[in-house]
Structure 1
Amino acid sequence: MNPSHPADRPAHAPLRLGAVALAAMLSACSLIPAYERPAAPVASDWPSTAGLSVAGTDARAAADLPWQDFVQDATLRELVALALEGNRDLRIAVQAIEQARAQYQIRRADQFPTIGVSASASRSAPNPAGASAPSVASSYSVALGGASWELDFFGRVAALKDVALASYLATEEARKTAQISLIASVASTWLQLKTDTELLLLSERTLATREQSLALIRLRFEHGASSALDLRQGESLVASAQAARAQQQRLRAQDINLLTLLVGAPVPERLIPALVAPGPATASARLAEPATAVAAVPELPGFAPIPAGLPSGLLLRRPDIRAAEQQLIGANANIGAARANFFPRITLTAGLGRVSSDLDGLLGSGGSKAWSFAPSLLLPLFDMGRNQAGLEAAQAGREIAVAQYEKAIQSAFREVADALASRATLNDQLAALRAQAEAERARFELAELRFRNGVASHLDLLDAQRSLFATQQALAQAQLAQRAADVQLYKALGGGWIEAAPAG
């Protein structure tokens, strides 16, 4: 006979057909409600904003734009790479994925029988009545068998597996969300650090200018050309600049501390914006050098342009919304498991082995075959409403998941709309502030020149100093808000979880 020919193996056909029929029967019944994605509770388009600048049609969507391409500055790219490697929150998110994956594998394994080998030995001395000495009885057994295996006629085990799968997929989306938030936090903190560094330099330059003016006022006061009021006003402005400098030093140190936490390790000194000396250190040197060269506020590094797209795109691309939908799918599957608890639960336990009174004969001719087959049926009749309460809890859990899914969409819509509104108006605000800062700088230089020549009063110079300082501070903060809006828009549109392909 040829064992490879189907005609020569007729006895195996019923076994295969029976296995196929059993598998079909076990998978045919499912009590999970049909899943329908809830309608998005937001408008079909973003709020109209006057002056909105939209990126070109050839620009990639945020979710398709790797963070390496979005971040244009090399220093910031290196910081983000360090954070992705060392941030502890991201490590926790990665391990949470592994934990959820293991739980899914456990639930998946419940659909199949567990087979193992068991061995036992026992010795006893019954000492029957009338016996002069106790007799010793021995028993040895070894068996290959399976633990209790539930026949999933009503889909309870399959539903629990679907719940675990949805939890695993939601955890994977949560890791992507954590990466997006980390990249945005590193970028925002680095921008804040650069801005606070520039504001500290501005405070240093303003302090140097005011100390220079105070030295000139004190010289004029000593010669009777200025009043005590002018001297006290100059001292007050110097003290105000010293307080602003101390405040900016504190804020800059806190920015570095936060960046260190995000990166997960001390930040290399070369990646921290450097401080530059404001000018001559001594009062006599500053007095000899007129403060006619007032430095302008430098621009912050920019990012790649991204289009806003449509709100419907968030449903498929933003990880936190996808995670909320997976939680909803899991809650829906949990209803099927709760419904299955109302129906009979059938389990099988079986074993096949040998039993012998001595160890040598266990595997030889002295032993005897032994087998067991123990099906069991559990039909709930009265449980004081436990199964009904479980079903109601599962149904309430689904309604909670629906509300959380809808809230995730609404929150995402609001974040994108806010970022678009900021981007639409900050450009005009920045243009106006730059023009104002240039005018205030020219006014201060002219006022100082007129004051040195005795044409303008000291009040004119003080007013010009205050206006220039306030305008430059506002300009630096507006530049920070503009760049932060770009980062928030990229984050709100689901960008940051895709890595750029390695070169070569």
Structure 2
Amino acid sequence: MKTKMFKYLHLKRTLVFGMLGAAFYSCVPTRDIRDEHVALPEHFNSAKATDTITAATIPWRNYFTDNDLIALIDTALVNNQELNIMLQQVDMAKNEIKSRKGEYLPFVDIEAGAEVEKVGRYTSQGANDANTEIKPGKEFPEPLPNYGIGAFATWELDIWNKLHNAKKAAVMEYLSTVEGKNFMVTNLIAEIADSFFELQALDNKLAIIEQNLKLQNNALKTVRLQKQAARATELGVQRLEAEVFKNKSERYAVKQEIVETENKINFLIGRSPQPVIRHSELFIDRKLDSIYSGIPSQLLENRPDIRKAEYELQAAKLDTKVAKANFYPSFTIRAGVGLEAFNVKYLTTTPESLLYNLVGDMAAPLINRNAIKAEYYNANDRQLQAVFDYEKTILNAYIEVVNEMSNIDNLKHNYELKEQQVAALTKSIDITNKLFKSARADYMEVLLTQRDALESKMDLIETKKEQMLAFVNMYKSLGGGWN
């Protein structure tokens, strides 16, 4: 009979909880979020290259061969303030995992206390104490003290995986911050390399201005002598002098750019303004190695910003699950055990001073669930935002690589033509100077030839700088540097 009754009660309890669960589940809103699209073309260009070798896997120490640049990057990876701030953010994200993990484990507290209580005689407790027969010598002390010590535990049963999903979301956020740090490392290395090559280009520009000033000063001396010999006029002298003043002014502008670029590097490596060690003599003759791009799908593995967006998307999906679990009942177990007595000497007397309790609670939202609904819909919106951000990051990475591949190719042809232009104009300077000294060319031909030659050399240096920046940007676009 008892067995049948037990089975009946168990069946009844199961039906009640099942009905409650079905009732709550039927009231939970649902919203479908589309999956992310990660399809990429099989190749970066029409050449349909299938070689999976990519420059992204080359360590930055091997990709950049200038020892001065390597020393600057080494210093930056230790001293850069922004990077160190990001490292603290990574550490905080790791601590958040510990916090989330602790939420689905029991909370145990130890409590100890002492109190003194004096109740009114005409209260229910006071009247009861007054009417209680107490043996002589056993009267209740008044006021009545109370001492206690015990351990108390609270444990929320994670039957809907809300707390576990929150912990997994914290893990995804941590991994996202790690990839954010990696992306910052990539950008930091690229920014230092860009500034370093720009500084070398400025050094070369300054050297060319100095060389051009020597040529112009020689031409100015010649035209002054020709004026004394009545073979030239004051107009020629003034025009050449004006050109000298113009280039002297340009020299100071370039010097200022050098100072600012040096200090930009100093800021990136976390030190006070000081000269940056570099050797710029071979800048213009620097040869660029071939850059292997691999295939587009490798960007998903090599680009830290793509992986960061992916982890953020996974965290957003888990946050949506957590928000949905808030609609369901929560189950909590509370328990405690300890000792309590009105006199310290009785505190350790057991079982008289022993106390314990065990409570199970169920709480579920019933009325006015608008706040929970709003948070659930917001979580869905954030998940959809993360989907779009992930897709945007992938598309941006692919376009960056395609642009840089085209840029490198066009700059190569551009530089070859600039070299031919500089060679032709440099040769024309010698010819013009000889003709000028023999009075077979006037000062305007000298002036224009020198000006064109100066501009062509400046353009050549600028093109070389653009080549070096493309060399750096290609490495960054492929996802190199952080590893």
In the superposition, the TM-score normalised over structure 2's length comes to 0.85
Correspondence 1:416-431 to 2 at 5 A: 416-431=401-416
- The structure-2 alpha-carbon separation of the partners of 1:364 and 1:491, relative to structure 1 and needing over 3 Å to count, comes to same
- The structure-2 alpha-carbon separation of the partners of 1:33 and 1:175, relative to structure 1 and needing over 3 Å to count, comes to farther
- Report which stretch shifted further, 88-97 or 385-394: 385-394
Aligned twin of 2:64: 71
Find the partner of 2:73 among 56, 80, 90.
80
Instruction: Please tell me the residue identity of whatever aligns with 1:43.
Output: P
**Deviations 1:168-203, CA, capped at 9 Å, x for gaps:** 110000000000000000000000011011111211
Instruction: Please tell me the residue identity of whatever aligns with 1:222.
Output: Q
**Structure 1: how far apart are the matches of 2:383 and 2:344?**
58
Q: Which has the larger radius of gyration?
A: 2
Deviation at 1:411, TM superposition (A): 1.0
**Structure 2: how far apart are the matches of 1:35 and 1:65?**
38
Aligned twin of 1:143: 150
Are 2:40 and 2:297, in contact at CA under 8 Å, matched by a contact in 1?
no
- The structure-2 alpha-carbon separation of the partners of 1:247 and 1:316, relative to structure 1 and needing over 3 Å to count, comes to same
Aligned twin of 1:249: 255
Percent identical among aligned pairs is 25
Aligned twin of 1:40: 38
**Deviations 1:439-481, CA, capped at 9 Å, x for gaps:** 2111112211221232322222112101110110010000001
Aligned twin of 1:240: 246
3-state secondary structure, aligned to 1:374: strand
Correspondence 1:71-470 to 2 at 5 A: 71-126=64-119, 128=121, 135-147=142-154, 149-266=155-272, 269=275, 271-272=277-278, 298-299=283-284, 301=286, 305-364=290-349, 368-470=353-455
**Structure 1: how far apart are the matches of 2:448 and 2:120?**
114
- The structure-2 alpha-carbon separation of the partners of 1:392 and 1:32, relative to structure 1 and needing over 3 Å to count, comes to closer
Instruction: Please tell me the residue identity of whatever aligns with 2:44.
Output: W
**Deviations 1:17-63, CA, capped at 9 Å, x for gaps:** xxxxxxxxxxxx9x9999996222643321348xx9x9x96x95233
CA RMSD of aligned residues (A): 2.8
**Unpaired runs of at least 5, structure 1:** 1-28, 277-296, 499-504
Higher helix share: 2
**Structure 1: how far apart are the matches of 2:152 and 2:33?**
39
**Structure 2: how far apart are the matches of 1:47 and 1:341?**
49
3-state secondary structure, aligned to 1:271: coil
**Structure 2: how far apart are the matches of 1:483 and 1:451?**
39
**Structure 1: how far apart are the matches of 2:59 and 2:150?**
57
Are 1:32 and 1:335, in contact at CA under 8 Å, matched by a contact in 2?
no
- Report which stretch shifted further, 207-216 or 393-402: 207-216
Instruction: Please tell me the residue identity of whatever aligns with 1:62.
Output: A
Deviation at 1:302, TM superposition (A): 5.3
**Structure 2: how far apart are the matches of 1:32 and 1:353?**
46
**Deviations 1:468-499, CA, capped at 9 Å, x for gaps:** 1011001000000111101000000000011x
- The structure-2 alpha-carbon separation of the partners of 1:33 and 1:177, relative to structure 1 and needing over 3 Å to count, comes to farther
**Structure 2: how far apart are the matches of 1:332 and 1:355?**
49
3-state secondary structure, aligned to 2:440: coil
Deviation at 1:134, TM superposition (A): 8.4
Are 1:107 and 1:160, in contact at CA under 8 Å, matched by a contact in 2?
yes
3-state secondary structure, aligned to 2:182: helix
3-state secondary structure, aligned to 1:189: helix
3-state secondary structure, aligned to 1:480: helix
**Structure 2: how far apart are the matches of 1:80 and 1:374?**
60
**Structure 2: how far apart are the matches of 1:446 and 1:298?**
28
Instruction: Please tell me the residue identity of whatever aligns with 2:164.
Output: A
Deviation at 1:384, TM superposition (A): 4.7
Aligned twin of 2:16: none
**Structure 2: how far apart are the matches of 1:332 and 1:223?**
88
- Report which stretch shifted further, 71-80 or 341-350: 341-350
- The structure-2 alpha-carbon separation of the partners of 1:301 and 1:123, relative to structure 1 and needing over 3 Å to count, comes to farther
**Structure 2: how far apart are the matches of 1:354 and 1:302?**
83
- The structure-2 alpha-carbon separation of the partners of 1:193 and 1:270, relative to structure 1 and needing over 3 Å to count, comes to closer
Deviation at 1:307, TM superposition (A): 0.8
- Report which stretch shifted further, 116-125 or 176-185: 116-125
Number of aligned residues: 441
**Unpaired runs of at least 5, structure 2:** 1-24, 131-139
**Deviations 1:74-114, CA, capped at 9 Å, x for gaps:** 11000100111111111111111001111121111111111
Are 2:266 and 2:274, in contact at CA under 8 Å, matched by a contact in 1?
no
**Deviations 1:351-409, CA, capped at 9 Å, x for gaps:** 11111222343235596111122222111112252222222111111111011001101
Deviation at 1:269, TM superposition (A): 3.8
Structure 1 stretches of 4+ with a deviation exceeding 6 A read: 31-37
**Deviations 1:261-295, CA, capped at 9 Å, x for gaps:** 11111366461457x9xxxxxxxxxxxxxxxxxxx
